[in-house]
Amino acid sequence: MTTNSDKKRLYIGGEWLEGNDHYDLRSPYSGKVIAQVPLAEKETVLKAIECAEQGAKEMKKLTALERSNILERAAGIFKERLEECALILAKENAKPLKAARGEILRTIETYKFAAEEAKRIHGETIPMDAAKNGKGRFAYTKREPLGVIAAITPFNFPFNLAAHKLGPAFAAGNSVILKPASQTPLSALAAAGIFEEAGLPKGALNVVTGKGSVVGDILVTDPRIKMVTFTGSVEVGLGIKERAGLKKVTLELGSNSAVIIDSAADLDAVAQRCVEGSFAYSGQVCISVQRIYVQEDIYESFLQKFTEKTKQLKFGDPESEDTDLSALISINEAKRVEGWIESARNAGTEIAYGGQRTGAVLHPTIIKNAGSTQEVSCQEAFAPIVSVNSYKTWDEAIDLVNDSLYGLQAGVYTTSMPKAFDAVERLEVGGVIVNDIPSFRVDHMPYGGVKNSGTGREGIKYSVEEMTELKLAVFTL
Ligand code: NAP
C-alpha cells in the first residue's frame, strides 16, 4: 500500500487488475499528482458484477463466526495501519491529520460493531395460533443476505462511510462492488488490500474506480445488483432512485443542519462545540453546523465567544500536525461559496468574520442574521461557513429549523426539559441531539434523514436490516 505517484490497479474477483485508461489524481491542497487511477470501462464493471455474484455465493457459505472473524481481523489491520491510512486521507481529500486519525479510529470502531453484529442476525417465532386459521401451525422468520450490493461513496469520509456499507454487508453475508468518489479512490483500494489480508473470500469485495456517470450508471441499472447503498448529493441520489427499478435503495444525502441555543448552563462550552461542528473538515460534513439560532437575550454574548474561538483555528497544509482547516475538495467549491458570501454582502448581510479565500482554502466564515432565502441559509454549503441568527420565541426557533428542504439531524441546547421533549416532537429531522450539536454521531446509532436528506438508515444494525431479506417459514404440525 503506497500513496506515491504510482499507477493503481482495480481490485476485482480477488485480483489486482491493470486498467486500460487512467486519470491523474491530484492533492486538493498542493495540486500535485499523487497517483494514476484506472478509469473502469463498461466491460470491467460487468466483470466486477460477475465476480461479485460468485463472491456472494462464497459469502453465503460462511458461518456467522467466520464473517465476524474476518471483520475483526480487518479492524485489527486498520489499527496497525492507522498512520498510513490517515496520511492517505491528508493527501487525497486534504483532511488535516488530526481529523484524519479521528476518521480511522471511527472506521476501526465501525468494523468492530459490524463484527459483533454478524453474530446476532436472527429472526423470530410468530404466534400463528393468534389467527383463526393459524391453529396447528408453527412459523419463524430468518434474515437472508440479498446477494450483490453496489456501494457508492462520497469524498468526505471515504474510509468510514465505506465501512458503513462494507461492514454490515459482509456481516450479513453479501458481496459488494464499491465505487468510491473519483477524488478518493486510494482509501477504497487500501481498504480492499486490508480485507484481502483479513481473508475475505475472492469476489466478496470489488473496487471499481472511475467516473460516477459511467461506473455508477451500470451498477444502478444492472439487474444482478440487488441493492444500491448511496451516500452523496441530492442530485445524484435522486437520479439513482429514478433508475434503480425494483432494487432496494438507501440514500444518505445532504443537509444544512441547524442548532437552537435557547439556554445553556455553560455558553463558553456551547460556543466551543459550535466551532467544532461548523468548521471540522472545513464544513465538508453532511451534519456540519450551518445555521445557528440563538435566543436574542444571549445572542451577542454567544456571537462574541463563538467568533473569538473561531479566530484561534489554524488553516494550512493538511499534513501539518497543527492544521485545523485546509483546502476544500476543489478550488471550484471554494469559489462557489465565495460567490455566496459576495451575494450575502450585496444583500446587506454582515460578515462577522472571515470571507476570504486563498486558492482552494476558504477561511472560516461567520455571517450574521442571513435571511432564510439566502443561499447560505437554504442550500447545503459543504464549506466552512455558518450563519448565526437571533430569535425571540421558542416557536419561531422551531419554525426556522424546519424551514429547510433538508432534515438530517438538528441540535438543541436548552435547560428546560419540556422544551427538549417538544423539540424532539416537532423538529422534522432523522435525529434530534439534545444539548449538543447536530454533528454528533457515533457509528452504531441509527443515522439518516427525512425530506431531501434521504431515505433509509445506517448504523450497523439498521444497515443489516436494509441489507437482508426477511424469509418466512410456516410448518403445518
Ligand atoms: P456526489 O457528487 O453526489 O458523489 C457521490 C458519489 O456518487 C461519487 O462516488 C460519485 O462518483 C458518484 N456518482 C456521480 N454521478 C453518479 C451517477 N450518475 N450514478 C451513480 N453514481 C454517481 O457527492 P460528493 O460531492 O462526493 O459528496 C458530498 C455530498 O455527500 C454532500 O451533499 C453531502 O451532504 C453528502 N454526504 C451525505 C452523508 C450522509 O450520511 N447523509 C455523508 C457524507 C456526505 P464521482 O466522484 O466519480 O463523480
Domain 4-253+454-476 sits in which CATH superfamily? Aldehyde Dehydrogenase; Chain A, domain 1 (3.40.605.10)
* Sequence letter at residue 119: K
Asked whether the predicted pLDDT for residue 4 surpasses 50, the reply is no
> Per residue in 255-278, pLDDT tens?
999 999 999 999 999 999 999 999
Q: SS3 for 182?
A: coil
Q: Which of 220, 222, 286 to mutate to test the pocket of ligand 1 (most atoms within 8 A of CB)?
A: 286
Nearest CA owner, ligand 1 atom 24 = 154
Give nearest CA residue, ligand 1 atom 14: 212
Pocket of ligand 1 (CB under 6 A): 152-156, 161, 179-182, 211-213, 216-217, 220, 231-233, 236, 239-240, 252-254, 286, 380, 382, 408, 454
In this predicted structure, the answer to whether residue 5 has a pLDDT above a threshold of 70 is no
Asked whether the predicted pLDDT for residue 2 surpasses 70, the reply is no
Q: What is the structure's pLDDT at 245? A: 96
SS3 347: coil
The CATH class that applies to domain 258-442 reads: alpha beta
What's the rounded Cα separation, in Å, for the pair 358 and 327? Answer: 9
Query: In whole numbers, what is the pLDDT of the chain averaged over residues?
Result: 97
> What does the alpha-carbon distance between residue 312 and residue 325 come to, in Å, rounded to a whole number?
11
DSSP string, 223-278: TTEEEEEEES-HHHHHHHHHH-TTSEEEEE-----EEEES--S-HHHHHHHHHHHH
CA gap 215, 37 in Å, rounded: 14
Q: What is the pLDDT of residues 130-159, one digit of tens each?
A: 999 999 999 999 999 999 999 999 999 999
As a whole number, mean pLDDT of residues 30-44 equals 97
Task: Pinpoint the residues of the chain covered by CATH 3.40.605.10.
Answer: 4-253+454-476
Over range 215-236, report the average pLDDT. Answer: 97
Going by alpha carbons, the residue nearest to atom 40 of ligand 1 is: 252
**pLDDT of residue 346 exceeding 50:** yes
pLDDT at 6: 85
User: Cα separations (Å) of 139 from 129, 134, 144, 194, 471?
Assistant: 10, 10, 16, 41, 11
- Is pLDDT of 405 > 70? yes
Facing residues of 229 across strands? 151, 250
> In the predicted model, is pLDDT for residue 457 greater than 90?
yes
Q: Note the pLDDT of residue 400.
A: 98
* pLDDT band with cut points at 50, 70 and 90 for residue 1: very low
- The predicted pLDDT at position 136 comes to 98
User: Mean pLDDT across the stretch 282-292?
Assistant: 98
**Nearest CA residue ID for atom 33, ligand 1:** 254
How far is the centre of ligand 1, averaged over its atoms, from the C-alpha of 167 (Å)? 19
The dihedral sign for the CA sequence 34, 38, 40, 41: positive
- The pair phi, psi for residue 10, each rounded to 5°, is -85, 150
**Calpha distance 251→229 (Å, rounded):** 6
Q: Could you give the CA distance from residue 264 to residue 271 in angstroms, rounded to a whole number?
A: 10
Residue in 92, 217, 234, 253 to alter for ligand 1 test, most ligand atoms within 8 A of Cβ: 253
Gap between the Cα atoms of 17 and 410, Å rounded: 44
Return the ligand 1 atom nearest residue 454 CA: 41
Number of helical (H) and strand (E) elements in the chain, helices listed first: 15, 25
pLDDT per residue as tens digits for the range 149-206: 999 999 999 999 999 999 999 999 999 999 999 999 999 999 999 999 999 999 999 9
Stretch 318-345: mean pLDDT, rounded? 97
Percentage of residues of the chain with pLDDT beyond 90: 99
The pTM of this model reads 0.97
Please state the separation of Cα 204 from the chain's center in Å: 22
Residue 145's closest CA among 124, 170, 165, 117? 170
Q: What is the pLDDT of residue 3?
A: 46
353-392 per-residue burial string, b: 16 or more CB within 10 A, e: under 16: bbbebeebbbbbbbbbebeeebbbbbbbbbbbbbbbbbbe
Round to whole Å and give the CA distance between 440 and 140: 38
CB 367 within 8 A of CB 386: yes
How many residues belong to the chain?
A: 477
Instruction: Give the span between the Cα atoms of 162 and 104, in whole angstroms.
Output: 12
Residue with grid cell 437482508, as numbered in its chain: 468
Residue type, 97: L
Distance CA 61, CA 43 (A): 28
Q: Rounded mean pLDDT of 341-368?
A: 96
| Residues paired with residue 45 on neighbouring β-strands, in sequence order | none
| Three cell numbers, residue 399 | 419554525
In the chain, list all ranges with CATH 3.40.309.10: 258-442
Nearest CA to 443 among 426, 457, 456?
457
Atom of ligand 1 nearest to the CA of 217: 19
User: At which residue does the C-alpha cell 479521528 appear?
Assistant: 102
Question: Distance, CA 446 to ligand 1 centroid (Å)?
Answer: 20
Gap between the Cα atoms of 384 and 363, Å rounded = 7
Kindly report, residue by residue over 313-328, the tens digit of the pLDDT: 999 999 999 999 999 9
Cell numbers that stand for 147 in this block: 446477494
